[in-house]
Structure 1
């Protein structure tokens, strides 16, 4: 066991041990190093432990810009992306991570360290978080106010609690429930622990979130001159809402059956944050221009768990946008699928395949949900490329270069006839509009909390017109709040009469409101709809063909992308553990997930 624990210590402390552990162990005089006790009497060093927590989050936005291989690979090296896994995005360039997931071959990529954040980095980075947070929590209560102010002590402690809960949430939604380690890990620590049930795990996650809520001193640090970007109470409340919504979902409950009590808890957690936001000027459902949520200076009240980049100019190697338009040079990156585009309702609230929608597939972009025009670039959409009055020609590259083979180039035209617009600021490229802007990608934003509330109330109480105890919003009200703030109509009454009908509306609303925000794959997993939606399926794009007889002067023809038949079976609702972990660790209770 000692041998195993030394191995796990090395594994869990990928960065901390390299930067701190040897440092903490040095006691000899004249070396320039400090003892661990001396470090815990150093205000700057204590805060640096908290900053380390934030340093582990790069993987979650699908790009690891600090990874040395990324620089060696050159500009535009795209990483495996869950948006491709879900089918919301099509990427024609061959990439092993994408090909393996589409083929159902998870075992072929769990040991791939490069370009693989969701299977590889998520595992190692989150265990690193467990290690670091437990080190902080082991000593933070010993810190006195003569070393650092109480509000800073509380901040660091709250962050450690929050990030431990975050780590276990991210691990468990991929690999299932894992032992919740709450003590500092040393070579003598017994880590041969049984796997808990997911119900047991969520109890620990919620306990850490609640403890963080009690000590984090601010609702939010929006525009704070010192602490902007650090987490406050709202972030802990938001994670609690997300974690409970996940735990209550069919993929994580006992025998995949409804757990009404968990849905009730999820509804209450979401309402707690919505209620707080109703009297806060620091967190809430943003009512301004929808695009500002993702690229304002520096953010909006929408980002309850914010993610701010420093201002970035379009002429730099903008890796955080490379998956959209390759480094803003104007080559196509990832392309929205026709299936995602079809999820956007008509302007009067009908699904486009409904008999009452009056949808015209030869004038397909007229009279759609207002978010469609904020999220998707389509043929003839107004969008400044190199001048003010430009319109998009989807037969060219994003910035207008002609290509002879539409829908075929890896880095040229769109693969589907669409480009992502949501995260790209207008007048922002290194051809004509080389501006310096913030680009924000919140991990959790307020719209998700309203969606969580709507889903949880409907599932808990079997009625979309019900409210959570003490709440003033029905599930329908919560969904309408999200839709109305962008000028979309209320959910049509035809879809609010019963639990099942409203469930489909809520799930579609998740896919539309949170598109391109790394949600759809995990929502499909938690709902256990991925097999139905993906197995044996392929996806489509649209060809644009000149035709003067059509309303817009072109004819739209759907075509099959041809990625090869998708594979998704029941075992894929959990990621497999690495065989090397199971063999080297020699921990009998660390069992492989079913089917692998």
Structure 2
């Protein structure tokens, strides 16, 4: 791939002084001297498409592994939005976490080295806008004597898809922004007014539809050359996610329900579900749940995939974000008691329901099967140095896995739990020195089923309704996600009206997609973050020996030693850097309310 410096124009990354336009510079060793020469070279054109994927590093720096973080600068994994949501606790004091948890987004925005979600998401997505427009400006002029039509279509489809992606990621944080569709030149007028969110989503959908129409493959799963490139299923998935976001209360006019957008969201999700019913490239994976995240080379679940090279425990274990110090990791993200409590009982009751039979002194029995796949809890079977190992999370006497329980030391559990979901089985430096693939899909098929369930329920005020032409109700879609891991159907008590089912759907998002960097932005789009976070103190589980209890230990919830959270209404949008508004002379791009 041709290497080149970032392009600096409006709202793009200012990495160094005197940056040059990639297409107008002579690349060492290539002999290119003009833009026209680049556009007559098949490899160079494909390299521009590959650059689009490189720009996604900010998003994957903290998802599962650290290679992207290492490429872009140690420390950027610190800005973990799983901490922002409260789904995990990180006891080490970090500026970006402290800022967000206290409501100080302005400080968070200025943490260039430690915050992908605020800082890199802004600049890198504007770079994507620049780069995609530069590609779209010339790609239609490429002829089949330079590259096959299928490759022309692939590059054009990728440019359309990544432009839509950039605006989706920008808008869900900063609100609707001007949708620039032409190549950006030094003389381009960038003082553009904000569109409405409904106008913006129309542009995003148009780009997704155009990409769907021309991308040559459904998916490049197992493709010997193009594996990891996006097919039409990825564009369909982004369309589903973007419409589901646009229809949500945080983005509609006056935060009121927009039935038309929910109907569009339901139709978009159904289109991909329908495709998956006959495709061997995309679908709801029916094998071992863990294989979705660590199998070679991936599964049909990853409709927008992300593949890393195999990672050896002996050399690269530190790169796995969820491993803890006792097995030579160094992350120390600990699930909160609040996310643990979201897992239902095995027969489908919330644990606080009178019919659940939940026993506070035997809390890990009889739970949703995903609980055992996602959470490492006291006495959980988990091979550390031998196949017969079990997790010892006792506080006193000190267990094997908590060298400093509930302390400020990071790299260990602060809550009595660890994440299991994204950790391959039998993988650590101490005993299981394996090389494994680690996959972190940006969008997987389960989310599309959840989008469909939510959108149908909201569009038709009925969990037992279907989108036009569909063969699944909203309840059916939710049950498909639950059943594939052996969980029971949604209890009929919760499927009789839209309001009750809405709460089930939202909990299903939190459980099925936990630790996959959804919760924070779901709380924002639903406008539930203030209710869920403001004034909130999160909890862990204190575990001590007690022979009088059914499991031989006593379980006691305790408050994590951190200040109460702050969340007010202005925090549903991120602030724009004042310097961007001033330096680029864009007064029509108004600051978000309250900032």
Q: Please indicate, yes or no, whether the TM-score normalized by the shorter chain is above 0.5.
A: yes
**Alpha-carbon distance in 2 for matches of 1:418, 1:518:** 18
Quote the Cα distance in structure 2 between the aligned partners of 1:30 and 1:172. 39
> Pairwise mapping of residues 266-345 of structure 1 onto structure 2 (< 5 A)?
266-318=265-317, 320-325=319-324, 329-330=328-329, 333-345=332-344
Offset of residue 406 of structure 1: 2.2
- Name the SS of the counterpart of 2:136 in structure 1: helix
- Determine the C-alpha separation between the residues in 1 that align with 2:388 and 2:562: 36
| 1:126 paired residue number | 125
1:381 maps to what in 2? 380
Measure the CA separation in 2 of the matches of 1:31 and 1:344. 56
Contact 1:221-1:232 within 8 A present in 2 as well: yes
SS of residue matched to 2:264? helix
1:555 maps to what in 2?
554
For the residues of structure 1 that align with 2:117 and 2:90, how far apart are their CA atoms?
17
Whole-angstrom distance in 2 between the partners of 1:23 and 1:213: 27
Q: Which residue matches 1:56?
A: 55
Instruction: Quote the offset at 1:563 in angstroms.
Output: 1.2
CA 1:72 to 1:215, structure 2 compared with 1: closer, same or farther past 3 Å?
A: closer
Distance 1:590 1:260, change over 3 A: same
Which residue is equivalent to 1:442?
441
For the 8 Å contact 1:16–1:132, the answer to whether it is kept is no
Contact 1:379–1:418, Cα closer than 8 Å, also in 2 = yes
- Relative to structure 1, the CA distance from residue 30 to residue 430 in structure 2 (aligned partners, 3 Å threshold; closer, same or farther) is closer
Matches of 1:474 and 1:441, distance apart in 2: 29
- Superposed, 1:87-166 pairs within 5 Å as 87-166=86-165
- In structure 2, the partner of 1:3 is none
> How large is the RMSD of aligned CA atoms in angstroms?
2.4
Q: CA deviation at 1:407?
A: 2.1
Q: Deviations over 1:302-353 (max 9, x none)?
A: 0000011111011223454234435951456100000000000000000000
Structure 2: how far apart are the matches of 1:52 and 1:30?
A: 18
* TM-score for the superposition, normalised by structure 2: 0.94
Aligned ranges 1:347-386 → 2 under 5 Å: 347-386=346-385
3-state SS, counterpart of residue 109 of structure 2: coil
Tell me if the contact between 2:545 and 2:552 (Cα under 8 Å) persists in the aligned partners. Answer: yes
Q: Equivalents in 1 of 2:590, 2:74: separation in Å?
A: 37
Q: Matched residue of 1:383: which SS?
A: coil
Q: 1:402 Cα deviation (Å)?
A: 6.4
* Matches of 1:72 and 1:54, distance apart in 2: 20
Q: Distance in 2 between matches of 1:448 and 1:228?
A: 22
The whole-number CA distance in structure 2 between the counterparts of 1:304 and 1:105 is: 35
Deviation at 1:197? 0.4
In the alignment, structure 1 residue 197 sits paired with structure 2 residue 206: no
Worse overlay, 329-338 or 42-51: 329-338
Change (3 A) 1:213 1:317: same
Aligned residues of 2:544 and 2:555 also touching (Cα < 8 A) = yes
Offset, 1:556: 0.3
Equivalent-residue separation in structure 1 for 2:529 and 2:137 (angstroms)? 41
1:410-430 CA-to-partner distances (Å, cap 9, x unmatched) read 235310000000000010011
* 3-state secondary structure, aligned to 1:245: helix
**Matches of 2:20 and 2:293, distance apart in 1:** 35
SS where residue 554 of structure 2 aligns? strand
For residues 477-556 of structure 1, the aligned pairs below 5 Å read 477-556=476-555
Distance 1:411 1:13, change over 3 A: closer
Contact (CA 8 Å) 1:415, 1:541: kept in 2 or not? yes
Conserved 8 A contact 1:396-1:402: no
Aligned residue for 2:4? none
Q: For residue 584 of structure 1, what is the aligned residue in structure 2?
A: 583
Query: Given the alignment of the two structures, is residue 40 of structure 1 paired with residue 39 of structure 2, yes or no?
Result: yes
> Could you state the TM-score of these two structures normalised by the residue count of structure 1?
0.94
On the 8 A contact 2:323/2:330 being kept in 1, the answer is no
Whole-Å separation in 2 of the counterparts to 1:101 and 1:208: 33
SS at match of 2:582: helix
Label 1:331 to 1:172 Cα distance change in 2 as closer, same or farther (>3 A).
closer
Does the CA-based 8 Å contact 1:78-1:323 persist in structure 2?
no
* Counterparts of residues 460-479 of structure 1 (less than 5 Å): 460-479=459-478
Residue 333 of structure 1 aligns to a residue whose secondary structure is coil
CA 1:68–1:491: 2 relative to 1, 3 Å: closer
> Take 2:188 and 2:548, find their aligned partners in 1: how far apart are those partners?
75
Q: 1:224-263 residue pairs with structure 2 within 5 A?
A: 224-263=223-262
Q: How has the CA–CA distance of structure 1 residues 94 and 147 changed in structure 2, closer, same or farther, with 3 Å as cutoff?
A: same
1:131 Cα deviation (Å)? 0.3
Unaligned runs of 5+ in 1: 1-6
- SS for the counterpart of 1:284 is coil
In the TM superposition, residue 579 of structure 1 has moved relative to its aligned partner by 1.2
Aligned counterparts of 2:272 and 2:279: Cα–Cα separation in 1 = 10
Deviation string, structure 1 residues 25-71 (Cα, Å, up to 9, x no partner)? 459x9994321001000000000000000001111124474567976
Alignment partners' CA distance in 2, 1:47 and 1:20: 20
Structure-2 residue corresponding to 1:24: 24
Matched-pair contact (CA < 8 Å) for 2:393–2:402 = no
Q: 1:173 maps to which residue?
A: 172
- Please name the residue that 1:566 is paired with: 565
Mark the runs of 5 or more structure 2 residues left unpaired by the alignment. Answer: 1-6
- Structure 1 residue 586: Cα displacement: 1.8
Contact 1:312 1:436 in 2 (8 A): yes
SS of 1:545's equivalent? strand
Q: For residues 286 and 341 of structure 1, what CA distance do their matches in structure 2 show?
A: 24
Q: Report the equivalent of 1:429.
A: 428
- Residue 400 to residue 544, structure 1, CA distance change in 2 (3 Å): closer
Structure 1 pair 262–390 and aligned structure 2 pair: CA distance change class (3 A): same
Distance 2:471 2:501 in 1: 19
Question: d(CA) in 1 for partners of 2:91 and 2:184?
Answer: 44
Which string of whole-angstrom CA distances, capped at 9 and with x for unpartnered residues, describes residues 64-98 of structure 1? 7456797666xxx8411110000000000011110
Aligned length: 586
Comparing 320-329 with 469-478, which one deviates more in the overlay? Answer: 320-329
The answer on whether the counterparts of 2:57 and 2:69 sit within 8 Å (CA) in structure 1 is no
